[in-house]
């Protein structure tokens, strides 16, 4: 839709934020451009407000309020592009789709379907995520599909499954937060990453809750804390085990809960016996006395909530670290009651739903296992194929990039991700993508990954594409389309329908609306752990959102989990034991690389910044990347505030301005992840993965920092 048409319509549009996992509802009213206005001619301004909804209660943050600016931005891709003689040029849809399927058909004959990979994302709607998983497996027949959520939720997911038998972001309702008397926030910066949730925590504090934050930086979230454990990056598993040990030493565990509802406690206790508490605290870089206070506050509280996010999870021992935190929850019995629970604070808009319905290498819809014969049979029945037609388990996102690099994957289809910026060891990933036979990217913009593509497909944005998304508390929400598709943009799921038809598999991909896909998804998820069967568009419209699991249209959906039993076969939760599957290699600071680099987010930008860097109001708040350094560390290195530095690791380096800040540990530096090119923090991060969940160790890389001016004019 052109800017002119939009302005003349002037009606209020109702939508839902495209960014984080809260999924705030928004209202947008286009404002007419004033005569003589200095605004750029291709931009349009809208009045943007939060709309009442259960999760954010009508609040919205600066990202959501300005999100529309990318959707109506003049840089939107409006027609397909194809590479001819080295350059990307506009082409017809017919030509683009034909080129893609021709490439696939050739590869299927010469190298088989496992030479073709699919890479999805947690911003996609449930319908698209489900359709993409089905497409990869039965339109193309490849086992190689995974998605960016591997870098996001996988450690919490694997730990939740092993401990509770089920993985759902929060096991409690947001409304439980103010009822908690103690809250542990480990490696989560809610104030910048889910800002509209802060009032829940403020209310808990106002009601007297003790708030404990574990973060190597004194973040905006840490400002709320009564106890801030400013630990060394990567030491969370050790710190959580130390806390449990101190709880047991004081006899503060909940014996009744442990006996009635858990198993494996004795083994978990045994692993703690060898802990030298003073040594452990020193290794974590915190005071033993503070840990003792935190442990006692958590265990002694009548109600308590414990949350983890990427600070704890994006480690080569992320799975183990989360299990250690869940051990604290189980030992104190702080779960399954009002004001209690464990929560992995999910990240992307559909970070939760995106991982439930088949984008993950080892899963079929409804959290079914691709290796379970009964699960395969059920899904084959829904899809109208033979169980043997469904390929086996694939590999994780970064391992797919390894297969791209070594030439096993020759064609990669990317929908809803910018992997060249968001993967660890980005230099290696870019090299691999450049060597592909065929790279196809479906996006709204020329992302850093789209720039490398052979075919680029223009897709609709959040304002144009209808579908469901599942927020961090497992609430399934419906985002209605507010605007028609601009130019020749198509919905993701329409593109998959068209590609399937060209492959002669159209009969399996003939749903003509996202609601029709959702109806199939409901049946596919039925009886699975993530059961959406009782959820319909009509119900969501009427109720504003419905929690899963929801087995029938009459059922309300379960907000507070595990009130009676856990989801494991015997109904008991399982304590985690440290040696279970080992951990991936750590990156210790050492000769030549004396500092630890960690990374994460800043308020105005979102992930690789493809969308937020194209919203003028957001871009203006942070124009470029930086590295946060403690003033004492900077002084020792002779680095001034704001000067250009190279941050180098054993893998690679990026260059940014320094930003001196005494809120970070002296042995640690921090860089945001929202910029590509030479500023990309992932040029330095390392490729090692957690052995259980295959999460990369993003948050700990040994580095050195050198001022660029010392490099002899380089
Ligand atoms: N503004 C904004 N909001 C977002 C996003 C965004 O890009 N921008 N992305 C969304 C997505 S997809 C996600 S996954 C979430 C992420 O949400 P968070 O996980 O909260 O975000 P991060 O900034 O990656 O990391 C959180 C904190 O972990 C700390 N940390 C670093 N290393 C360690 C460690 O070893 N141990 C501990 N305990 N803490 C550590 C960092 O200092 C940081 O403050 O945010 C969502 N919301
Ligand atoms: N160093 C470091 N690296 C990290 C992290 C970290 O903390 N530190 N965090 C990791 C985490 S938690 C995450 S979630 C990943 C995310 O990293 P990415 O997967 O790269 O995520 P985005 O930057 O959101 O890229 C999404 C792309 O899809 C496009 N897009 C948005 N919506 C749609 C849609 O509906 N359809 C289609 N087809 N395209 C769409 C956007 O324009 C954008 O180009 O990064 C990971 N990488
Ligand atoms: S970014 Fe998150 S908190 Fe902010 S408006 Fe969007 S959904 Fe809400
Ligand atoms: Mo994420």
pLDDT reported for residue 40: 46
* Residues 128 and 209 grouped into a single domain: no
Query: Is 559 contained in some domain?
Result: no
Phi, psi of 398 (to 5 degrees): -70, -35
* Residues 166 and 307 grouped into a single domain: yes
Those residues with Cβ within 8 angstroms of residue 428's Cβ, 6 or more apart along the chain or in another chain: 401, 405, 651, 687
- Number of structural domains in the chain: 3
CA-proximal residue: ligand 3, atom 4 (nearest): 61
CB-based contact 51:26 (threshold 8 Å): yes
CB-based contact 286:229 (threshold 8 Å): yes
User: Helix (H, G, I), strand (E, B), or coil: what is residue 435?
Assistant: coil
Helices (H) and strands (E) in the chain, counts: 24, 28
CB-based contact 494:471 (threshold 8 Å): no
Provide the percentage of residues in the chain whose pLDDT is more than 90: 92
Per-residue pLDDT of 25-35, as tens digits, reads 999 998 776 65
Closest ligand by atom to 123 CA = 2
CB-based contact 672:627 (threshold 8 Å): no
Cα 151 to ligand 4 centroid, rounded to whole Å: 7
Q: How far apart are CA 254 and CA 453, in angstroms?
A: 56
Query: Is 195 contained in some domain?
Result: yes
Give the DSSP per-residue string, 373-403: HHHHHHHHHHHTS-GGGS------HHHHHHH
Q: How far apart are CA 23 and CA 462, in angstroms?
A: 12
Last residue of a domain, one of 291, 311, 344: 344
Q: Is the shortest distance between the CB of 152 and ligand 1 below 6 Å?
A: yes
Last residue of a domain, one of 297, 313, 344: 344
* Residues 285 and 433 grouped into a single domain: no
Q: What is the CATH number of the domain that holds 75?
A: 3.40.50.740
Largest alpha-carbon pair distance within the chain?
Answer: 75
Per-residue pLDDT of 237-296, as tens digits, reads 999 999 999 999 999 999 999 999 999 999 999 999 989 999 999 999 999 999 999 999
The DSSP bridge partners found for residue 714 are none
Closest ligand by atom to 450 CA = 2
- Strand ordering across the sheet containing 467-470: 467-470, 475-479, 546-547
Can you tell me which atom of ligand 2 is nearest the CA of 314?
A: 7
pLDDT reported for residue 578: 73
Query: Is 63 contained in some domain?
Result: yes
pLDDT reported for residue 711: 81
Q: Is the shortest distance between the CB of 615 and ligand 3 below 6 Å?
A: no
Q: How many CB atoms lie within 10 A of CB 389?
A: 13
Which residue in this structure is represented by tokens 């939740």?
A: 160
The pLDDT of 48-70, averaged and rounded, is: 95
Strand runs labelled E in 480-574? 546-547, 573-574
Does residue 39 carry a pLDDT above 60?
A: no
Phi, psi of 342 (to 5 degrees): -110, 145
* Residues 188 and 322 grouped into a single domain: yes
Q: How far apart are CA 49 and CA 28, in angstroms?
A: 7
* Residues 132 and 249 grouped into a single domain: no
Mutate to test the pocket of ligand 2, among 18, 148, 448, 700 (most ligand atoms within 8 A of CB): 148
Token pair for 282 = 């020193």
Query: Is 282 contained in some domain?
Result: yes
Q: Is the shortest distance between the CB of 126 and ligand 3 below 6 Å?
A: no
Per-residue pLDDT of 89-107, as tens digits, reads 999 999 999 999 999 999 9
CB-based contact 328:335 (threshold 8 Å): no
Burial class (CB in 10 A: 0-12, 13-18, 19+), 372: exposed
* pTM listed for this prediction: 0.96
Nearest to 344 by CA among 371, 316, 319: 319
Query: Is 701 contained in some domain?
Result: yes
DSSP-assigned letter for residue 665: -
Q: What is the CATH number of the domain that holds 697?
A: 2.40.40.20
Last residue of a domain, one of 447, 473, 504: 504
Query: Is 496 contained in some domain?
Result: yes
- Cα 159 from chain centroid (whole Å): 16
Query: Is 571 contained in some domain?
Result: no
The answer to whether the Cα torsion of 292, 294, 296, 298 is positive or negative is negative
The DSSP bridge partners found for residue 596 are 668, 702
Cα 61 to ligand 3 centroid, rounded to whole Å: 5
CA-proximal residue: ligand 2, atom 45 (nearest): 422
* Residues 639 and 700 grouped into a single domain: yes
Q: How far apart are CA 191 and CA 202, in angstroms?
A: 11
The DSSP bridge partners found for residue 417 are none
CB-based contact 72:4 (threshold 8 Å): no
DSSP-assigned letter for residue 135: I
Per-residue pLDDT of 655-695, as tens digits, reads 999 999 999 999 999 999 999 999 999 999 999 999 999 99
Q: Is the shortest distance between the CB of 672 and ligand 2 below 6 Å?
A: no
Token pair for 234 = 């990567």
Helical axes 236-249 vs 277-284, angle rounded to 10°: 150
User: Helix (H, G, I), strand (E, B), or coil: what is residue 325?
Assistant: helix
The whole domain housing 261 covers 154-344
* Residues 389 and 246 grouped into a single domain: no
Cα 16 to ligand 3 centroid, rounded to whole Å: 9
* Residues 43 and 125 grouped into a single domain: yes
* Residues 21 and 130 grouped into a single domain: yes
pLDDT reported for residue 583: 82
pLDDT reported for residue 31: 78
Q: How far apart are CA 238 and CA 653, in angstroms?
A: 29
DSSP-assigned letter for residue 136: I
Does residue 412 carry a pLDDT above 50?
A: yes
Cα 445 to ligand 3 centroid, rounded to whole Å: 21
Cα 697 to ligand 4 centroid, rounded to whole Å: 14
* Residues 16 and 37 grouped into a single domain: yes
Q: Which of 43-57, 59-73, 365-379 has the lowest mean pLDDT?
A: 43-57
Nearest to 239 by CA among 190, 184, 191: 184
Query: Is 299 contained in some domain?
Result: yes
* Residues 135 and 189 grouped into a single domain: no
Mutate to test the pocket of ligand 1, among 227, 601, 702 (most ligand atoms within 8 A of CB): 601
The pLDDT of 339-343, averaged and rounded, is: 98
* Residues 195 and 138 grouped into a single domain: no
* Total count of residues recorded for the chain: 714
Nearest to 63 by CA among 602, 484, 510: 602
The answer to whether the Cα torsion of 51, 339, 477, 539 is positive or negative is negative
Mutate to test the pocket of ligand 1, among 194, 347, 698 (most ligand atoms within 8 A of CB): 347
Per-residue pLDDT of 570-607, as tens digits, reads 999 999 987 666 788 889 898 899 999 999 999 999 99
Q: How confident is the model at residue 444 (pLDDT cuts 50, 70, 90)?
A: very high
Q: Is the shortest distance between the CB of 59 and ligand 3 below 6 Å?
A: no
As a whole number, the mean pLDDT across the chain is: 95
Which residue in this structure is represented by tokens 């003033």?
A: 631
CA-proximal residue: ligand 3, atom 7 (nearest): 23
Q: How confident is the model at residue 41 (pLDDT cuts 50, 70, 90)?
A: very low
Q: How confident is the model at residue 45 (pLDDT cuts 50, 70, 90)?
A: confident
H-only helix segments in 262-385: 265-272, 277-284, 288-300, 310-313, 318-332, 373-383
Closest ligand by atom to 417 CA = 2
Cα 280 to ligand 1 centroid, rounded to whole Å: 25
User: Helix (H, G, I), strand (E, B), or coil: what is residue 424?
Assistant: coil
Mutate to test the pocket of ligand 1, among 61, 63, 149, 193 (most ligand atoms within 8 A of CB): 193
Q: How many CB atoms lie within 10 A of CB 339?
A: 24
């Amino acid at each position: 839709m052109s800017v002119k048409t939009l302005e003349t319509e002037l009606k209020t549009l109702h939508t839902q934020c495209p960014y984080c996992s809260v999924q705030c509802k928004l209202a947008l009213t286009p404002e007419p451009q004033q005569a003589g206005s200095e605004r750029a001619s291709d931009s349009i301004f809208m009045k943007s407000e939060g709309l009442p909804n259960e999760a954010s209660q009508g609040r919205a943050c600066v990202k959501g309020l300005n999100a529309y600016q990318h959707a109506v931005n003049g840089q939107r891709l409006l027609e397909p592009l194809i590479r001819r003689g080295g350059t990307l040029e506009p082409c017809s849809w017919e030509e683009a789709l034909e080129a893609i399927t021709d490439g696939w058909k050739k590869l299927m004959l010469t190298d088989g379907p496992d030479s073709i990979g699919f890479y999805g994302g947690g911003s996609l709607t449930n319908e698209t995520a489900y359709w993409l998983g089905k497409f990869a497996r039965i339109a193309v027949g490849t086992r190689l599909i995974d998605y960016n959520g591997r870098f996001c939720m996988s450690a919490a997911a694997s730990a939740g499954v092993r401990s509770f038998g089920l993985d759902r972001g929060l096991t409690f309702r947001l409304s439980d937060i103010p009822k908690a008397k103690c809250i542990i926030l480990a490696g989560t910066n809610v104030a910048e990453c889910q800002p509209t949730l802060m009032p829940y925590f403020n209310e808990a504090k106002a009601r007297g809750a003790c708030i404990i934050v574990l973060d190597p930086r004194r973040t905006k979230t840490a400002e709320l804390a009564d106890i801030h454990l400013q630990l060394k990056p990567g030491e969370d598993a050790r710190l959580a085990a130390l806390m449990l040990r101190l709880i047991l030493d004081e006899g503060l565990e909940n014996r009744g809960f442990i006996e009635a509802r858990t198993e494996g406690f004795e083994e978990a206790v045994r692993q703690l016996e060898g802990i030298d508490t003073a040594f452990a605290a020193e290794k974590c870089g915190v005071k033993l006395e503070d840990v003792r206070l935190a442990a006692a506050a958590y265990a002694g509280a009548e109600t308590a909530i414990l949350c983890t996010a990427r600070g704890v999870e994006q480690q080569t021992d992320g799975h183990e670290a989360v299990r250690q935190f869940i051990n604290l929850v189980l030992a104190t019995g702080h779960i399954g009651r009002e004001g209690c629970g464990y929560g992995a604070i999910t990240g992307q808009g559909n970070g939760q739903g995106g991982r439930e319905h088949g984008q993950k290498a080892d899963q079929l819809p409804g959290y079914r296992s691709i290796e379970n014969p009964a699960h395969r049979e059920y899904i084959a029945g829904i899809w109208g194929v033979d169980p043997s037609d469904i390929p086996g388990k694939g590999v994780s996102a970064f391992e797919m990039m390894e297969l791209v690099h070594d030439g096993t994957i020759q064609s990669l289809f990317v929908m809803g991700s910018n992997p060249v910026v968001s993967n660890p060891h980005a230099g290696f990933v870019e090299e691999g993508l450049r060597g592909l036979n065929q790279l196809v990217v479906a996006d709204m913009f020329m992302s850093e990954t789209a720039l490398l593509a052979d075919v680029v497909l223009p897709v609709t944005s959040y304002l144009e594409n209808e579908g469901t998304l599942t927020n961090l508390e497992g609430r399934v929400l419906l985002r209605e389309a507010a605007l028609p598709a601009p130019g020749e943009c198509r919905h993701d799921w329409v593109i998959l329908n068209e590609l399937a038809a060209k492959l002669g598999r159209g009969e399996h991909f003939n749903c003509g609306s996202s609601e029709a896909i959702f109806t199939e998804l409901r049946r596919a998820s039925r009886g699975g752990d993530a059961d959406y069967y009782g959820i319909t568009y009509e119900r969501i419209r009427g109720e504003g959102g419905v929690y899963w699991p929801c087995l029938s249209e009459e059922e309300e959906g379960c907000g507070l989990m595990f009130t009676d039993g856990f989801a494991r076969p015997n109904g008991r939760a399982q304590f985690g034991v440290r040696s279970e599957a080992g951990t991936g290699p750590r990156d210790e600071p050492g000769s030549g690389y004396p500092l630890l680099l960690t990374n994460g987010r800043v308020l105005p930008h979102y992930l690789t910044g493809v969308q937020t860097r194209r919203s003028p109001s957001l871009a203006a708040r942070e124009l470029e990347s930086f590295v946060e350094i403690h003033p004492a560390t900077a002084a020792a290195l002779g680095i001034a505030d704001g000067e250009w530095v190279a941050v180098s690791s054993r893998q690679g380096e990026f260059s940014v301005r320094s930003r001196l800040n005494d809120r970070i540990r002296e042995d640690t530096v921090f860089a945001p992840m929202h910029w590509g090119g030479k500023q990309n923090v992932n040029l330095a991060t390392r490729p090692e993965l957690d052995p259980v969940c295959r999460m990369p160790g993003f948050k700990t890389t040994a580095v050195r920092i050198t001022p660029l001016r010392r490099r002899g004019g380089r």
